[in-house]
Structure formats: C-alpha cells, structure tokens
A and B are shown apart, each in its own frame.
Chain A
Amino acid sequence: MGGRQGRGSAWRGGTGRQGRAPRGGEGRGGRGGLCGAGAAGGAPNLGGAAGQEAGSAAAQLGDMAGVKALVALSFSGAIGLTFLMLGCALEDYGVYWPLFVLIFYVISPIPHFIAKRATDDSDAASSACRELAYFFTTGIVVSAFGLPIILARVAVIKWGACGLVLAGNAVIFLTILGFFLVFGRGDDFSWEQW
C-alpha cells in the first residue's frame, strides 16, 4: 500500500512538472510560483517538496477538468429539463402529465448506489448485485421512455409533446450517465481522470 502511494505521487509529480508547460498560460504563473517555493526548500527535501507541490498542481489540473465536466453536464441537464418543460408548457400542449418522468429521473441512480453499498467492490470485475442494479436501472430508463408514449397513445398528451419529452429524456439520461462516468470512479484511481 505504501509502495503504491509512492508510485502514485511520483507519477503525479513527474507529469505535473512536465505538464505545466503545455497547459494554459494562466496556470503557468501560479504554478511557477509553487515550483519556485518548492525549489527554495532545503536540499534533502527538494525532491519530496517539489513532488508534493507538483502533485497538488496536478490535483488542481484534475479539479479543473472536473469543474469543466461539471459545467458541461449541468448545461446538458438544463437543456434536457428545458425540453421536458417545453413539452408541458407550450400553448399547443398545456398539460403537465409528462412531469411524472421526473420520478424516473430521480430514482434511476438508486439501484447503482444500493449495489455499491451492499457489496464492497473488491477485485471482482462484476457481481450479481451490480448486474441486478444494471437491470433495474435499464428498466427505469425504458419506463421513462414508455410513459410519454402511452400518454400520447391515449391522447392525454399530443404526439409533439411526447417527442419533446422523449428528447428531454435522452438528454437527461445521457447527463446522468456522464456523471457516473466522470465522477463515478473511486478516489483511489483519481489519476484515471486525466
């Protein structure tokens, strides 16, 4: 475990030092200062301190990538909800039954979290609990698509509203999937976010 951490910080330190140059200009000044402060440390600590400073710089870069992903995902989430609200609120449509798909949006991540909590994710590539969670999550997604279609079939909502709600569904579920792909990895493997 200690060896693993040592390798990780050395890796981060190396890339932090090399990666600073190609990154944006606004980062260079700040991290140049950090590097200068690191280099000003005592000779025996030089490697370790520089490694730690570069490591935190690398973590900052990782956070920047995380913040950008967060902004992009929240934008797409807003677009999806806009589609849903258009499907309800346009003058041609005017009925708010499609808002029931919000229930499906909210409960769709729950099986995944239950499975994650129930089985400690050790070395196994998969587990029966996780696959059952995928099964139910898929079911919730299918249901979120099925409900507007059925509402349109019995003319509770118009087909145009149904189309808008389906588009909103697609965008929202892609957003949720994006959340899990970007932020779902455990903290142990944060270097994978590069």
Chain B
Amino acid sequence: MKIFLALEDTFQVKMAGFLDNFRWPECECIDWSERRNAVASVVAGILFFTGWWIMIDAAVVYPKPEQLNHAFHTCGVFSTLAFFMINAVSNAQVRGDSYESGCLGRTGARVWLFIGFMLMFGSLIASMWILFGAYVTQNTDVYPGLAVFFQNALIFFSTLIYKFGRTEELWT
C-alpha cells in the first residue's frame, strides 16, 4: 500500500507540465489592467471600420447593381444601428445597479438590449443568406457577397468586444 502511494506521488510529479514554471517576461512599464478598456475600444474600432471599408471597397469595385445589389447595404446599416443600440446601455443599467436609471429603467434597458441583439444577429444571418443565396449558388464573382458577409461579421465581433471587453469598474 505504501509503495503504491509512493509510486503515485512520483507519477504525479513527473506528469507535471514542463511549462509549469514558465512565466511571460514581466513588463512593468504599462499597467494593462488599467488600459483594458482603451485596448478593447481601439480593437473594436479597428474591426468596425475595417468592416465598413471592405463594403465600401466592394461597392466601388463592383458599381453595377447586377454585381452588387444596392439593397445589400441594408445589412450593414442595421448592424451599425444594432452596435449603437447594444452599447448605449451599460451592464450596470441592465442589472439595475446604476443610480441614474436613464429614461428606460431596468426592464426598458433589457428590452433595448434584446432588440439590439436581435437586429445584430438578424443582420449577420441575412449577410450569410446573401452570400450563399445570391453569390455562391449563382456562379458569379463571389467577392461582393464575401464583402457583405465580412462587413457584418466584423461589426458583430466589434460589438462583442466593445460590449464585453470593457470593464465598468474602471468608470468608478
């Protein structure tokens, strides 16, 4: 029994990972915890505007409506509207924690957030539909469909990063 336990100890020690004692080189010049919100905002900004410029690029390179139907811009517009709706309410308002309730109150904030996310997901799904329905299955040049899809996907990820990548504790 004792031999078995001793073997088990040795076995566990040997099975520890060789990266256990690895630490990233310490960079003390920047306090990343304080900069988290700024980094998240910048990354979200890069993604959002890259998405829009991809769409502008497609619209400029394929100006004819047969190549890129002008109605497909609607997805990007609704995604942008959803971005601002989602980020207009803070997480504290949704929880009911904040002192200033705004004009919505807690339930209103939740409904607003719900509608915002519905618009966002709807635009994303619509862009996928456009890509596959209007481009991949039609044997045409698929780049405008990809542009619509990437615009909405990038705006979606930008929304997520801007909403959940920032911490509201830094606001106090």
Contact = CB atoms under 8 A, between A and B. Distances in A.
Contact of A139 (B48, B90, B172): B48
Contact of B57 (A126, A134, A138, A149): A149
Contacts of A131: 37-38, 40-41, 166
Contacts of B170: 124-126
B52 to A, nearest CB: 8
Contacts of A136: 45
B53 A142 contact: yes
A136 B60 CA distance: 23
Interface in B145-172: 162, 166, 170-172
B66 to A, nearest CB: 18
A153 B60 contact: yes
A150 interface: yes
Contact of A134 (B42, B49, B50, B172): B42
Given A126-B170, A126-B171, A150 B41 contact: no
A52 to B, nearest CB: 33
A135 B44 CA distance: 7
B77 interface: no
Nearest to A124: B171
21 contacts: A124-B170, A124-B171, A125-B170, A126-B38, A127-B171, A130-B38, A131-B38, A131-B40, A131-B166, A134-B42, A134-B45, A135-B42, A135-B44, A135-B48, A135-B162, A138-B41, A138-B46, A142-B49, A143-B49, A150-B57, A154-B61
A135 B162 CA distance: 9
Contact of B49 (A130, A146, A149): A146
Give the interface SS of chain B, mostly helix, strand, loop or mixed.
Answer: helix
Contacts of A135: 41-42, 44-45, 48, 162
Contacts of B48: 135, 139
Nearest to B51: A142
B56 A150 contact: yes
Contacts of A138: 41-42, 44-46, 49
A132 interface: yes
Contacts of B171: 124, 126-128
A126 B49 contact: no
B34 interface: yes
Nearest to A123: B172
A-B pairs, top 3 by smallest CB distance, nearest first, are A138-B45, A146-B53, A142-B49
